[in-house]
């Protein structure tokens, strides 16, 4: 069953700013299977977008990829080779961002933009006809949107147009970076449902980046939870939600208000980037109520347990 399409191994990224070097992504690994909706969750600043962008060769300036490799459709490349990654992945990967209106060209009609994306994909078929098909795929009526400029449509519709552009290249992998943050709940749900359907029907893999666990809960099968540039827990979503092991995962779940059974919220204390810098440690130690001196001494290794990998010394030695 493990038909792995895309995998990241040991990705490590430093930011170099004002002559100061900081490790902002620390040895993360994950693998996404064909046709899977994969969740990547963490607070803002935890490095989830940065690592995904770097994994497709789009590390922002000021960032330096230190180590790690990325494999896509069986071909592995070192992550340091950003240009090579871009070349290798540009055909098979599309991106979807938070601010869809910002991603669209304000001076061009939406149908022209989708058509342009199709032309750039370089397929032989008639792009005109394809545009109509793509609009239908993303659930928009082509006739209503022909000749419309991005400012004339709503945020949800813009996100769908951006999606049509992203689908034009028939990607095997879509990276959706908080695609629903700017949308209303009702539209948000529709979009998520649509993403889930894409995975099922088109065998497309999607990495859904979110800061709210409740967004990934319904449609993702597996997920990774990131904190301060480290993966703290990853594995099957149902298992993790039913019995979260890492204190951070527990904290995230306890912080989400529940519509159906209101309960007291237990907020996480502190910020993502606090605590001592420049040492090998569990980067959650400064917020963790179970922290021991061991946590400050080294980065906890991945521990396979109950169908997931958890990075926490609490689970290091299980009594027989």
Partner 1 sequence: MTASPVLSVRKLTKLFGDRTRPEAVNVGVRGVSFDVEGGEVVGLIGESGCGKTTLGRCVVGLQKPDDGHIVINDTDLASLSPARMRTFRKAVQIVFQRPETCLNPRMSVFTFVKQAMRNFDTVPRGHERARMIELAQLVGLKEEALDRFPHQLSGGERQRVAIMRALACEPSLIVLDEPTSALDVSVQAQVLRTLKDLQREVGTSFLFISHDVAVVRYICSRVMVMYLGVIVEEGPSEIVLGHPVHPYTQALLAAAPRITPKPGPHPSLKGELVLADVGPGECPVRARCPMAHERCRTAPPVTQLPEGHRVACWLAADAATDGPISIQTPSKKVPQ
Partner 2 sequence: MNMRVDPMPTTPALPRRPAGPTPWRRFYYGIFGGDALGLAGTAMLAALLAIAIVGPWLVTHDPLLTTPQTLLPPTAEHWLGTDHFGRDVFSRTITSLRIDFIVAGLGVSGAILIGSLLGLVCGYVGGWFDDLVMRGVDIVQSFPLLLIAMVLILVMGPGLESIVIVTVLINIPIYARVIRGETLSRKTLEYIDAARCSGASEMSILFRHLMPNTLSPIIVHGSLNLAAAVGNVAALSFLGVGIRPPTPDLGVMVAEGTNYLVQGAWWMSIGPGLVLALTIFSLNLLGDCLEGRLDPRRTEA
> Where along the sequence are the contacts to partner 2 (CB under 8 A)?
9-10, 12, 18-23, 26-27, 66-68, 278, 280, 298-305, 316-318, 320
Question: 186: burial class by Cβ within 10 Å (0-12, 13-18, 19+)?
Answer: exposed
Nearest approach, Cβ of residue 305 and partner 2 (Å): 7
- Is 196 a residue that touches partner 1 (CB under 8 A)? no
Which listed residue (18, 74, 122, 267) binds partner 1 by CB under 8 A?
267
CB closer to partner 2 out of 196 and 297: 297
Q: Can you tell me the distance from the alpha carbon of 15 to that of 25, in angstroms, rounded to the nearest whole number?
A: 9
Which listed residue (137, 255, 294, 302) binds partner 1 by CB under 8 A?
255
Residues within window 7-46 making contact with partner 1, judged by CB under 8 A = 43-44
Q: Which does 185 bind (CB under 5 to 8 A by kind): partner 1, partner 2, none?
A: partner 1
Evaluate whether 200 touches 231 at the Cβ level (below 8 Å): no
3-state secondary structure of 58: coil
Binding mask 125-154 for partner 1 (x = CB under 8 A): -----------------------------x
Evaluate whether 42 touches 51 at the Cβ level (below 8 Å): no
- Is 266 a residue that touches partner 1 (CB under 8 A)? yes
Count how many residues are written for the chain.
320
Q: Which does 10 bind (CB under 5 to 8 A by kind): partner 2, partner 1, none?
A: partner 2
Nearest approach, Cβ of residue 217 and partner 1 (Å): 5
- Is 212 a residue that touches partner 1 (CB under 8 A)? yes
- Is 271 a residue that touches partner 1 (CB under 8 A)? yes
Q: Which does 306 bind (CB under 5 to 8 A by kind): partner 1, partner 2, none?
A: none
C-alpha distance from residue 316 to each of 271, 276, 310 (Å) = 26, 23, 9
The first and second tokens of residue 93, run together, are 């990967």
Nearest approach, Cβ of residue 277 and partner 1 (Å): 17
Radius of gyration from C-alpha coordinates of the chain: 20
What are the residues whose beta carbons fall under 8 Å from the beta carbon of 303, sequence distance 6 or more?
Answer: 309, 310, 311, 312, 315, 316
| φ/ψ of residue 36, rounded to 5 | -110, 145
Q: Give the E-state strand segments of 74-218 in sequence order.
A: 75-78, 93-96, 173-177, 205-210
CB closer to partner 1 out of 167 and 215: 215
DSSP assignment of 208-268: EEES-HHHHTTT-SEEEEEETTEEEEEEEHHHHHHS--SHHHHHHHHHS--SSS-----PP
Q: Which does 278 bind (CB under 5 to 8 A by kind): partner 2, partner 1, none?
A: partner 2
Give the interface with partner 1 as residue ranges (CB under 8 A): 43-44, 154, 156-157, 184-190, 211-215, 217-218, 241, 251-260, 262, 264-269, 271
């Amino acid at each position: 069953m493990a038909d792995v399409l895309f995998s990241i191994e040991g990705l490590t990224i430093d930011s170099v700013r004002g002559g100061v070097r900081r490790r902002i992504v620390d040895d993360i690994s994950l693998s996404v299977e064909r046709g899977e909706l994969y969740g990547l969750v963490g607070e803002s600043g935890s490095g989830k977008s940065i690592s995904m962008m770097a994994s497709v060769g789009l590390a922002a300036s000021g960032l330096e990829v230190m180590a790690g490799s990325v494999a896509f459709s069986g071909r592995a490349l070192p992550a340091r080779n950003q240009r090579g990654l871009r070349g290798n992945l540009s055909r098979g990967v599309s991106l979807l961002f938070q601010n869809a209106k910002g991603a669209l060209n304000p001076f061009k009609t939406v149908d022209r933009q989708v058509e342009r994306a199709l032309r750039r994909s370089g397929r032989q078929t008639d792009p005109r006809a394809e545009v109509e098909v793509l609009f239908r795929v993303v659930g928009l009526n082509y006739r209503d949107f022909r000749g419309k400029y991005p400012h004339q449509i709503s945020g949800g519709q813009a996100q769908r147009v951006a999606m049509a552009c992203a689908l034009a290249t028939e990607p095997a992998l879509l990276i959706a970076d908080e695609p629903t943050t700017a949308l209303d709940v009702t539209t948000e749900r529709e979009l998520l449902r649509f993403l889930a359907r894409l995975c099922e029907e088109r065998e497309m893999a999607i990495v859904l980046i979110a800061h709210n666990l409740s967004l990934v809960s319904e449609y993702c099968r597996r997920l990774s939870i990131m904190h301060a540039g480290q993966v703290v827990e990853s594995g099957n979503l149902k298992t993790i939600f039913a019995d979260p092991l890492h204190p951070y995962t527990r904290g995230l779940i306890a912080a989400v208000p529940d519509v159906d059974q209101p309960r007291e919220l237990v907020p996480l204390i502190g910020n993502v980037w606090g605590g001592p810098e420049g040492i090998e440690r569990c980067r959650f130690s400064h917020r963790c109520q179970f922290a021991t001196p061991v946590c400050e001494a080294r980065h906890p290794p991945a521990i396979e347990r109950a169908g997931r990998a958890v990075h926490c010394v609490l689970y290091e030695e299980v009594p027989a």
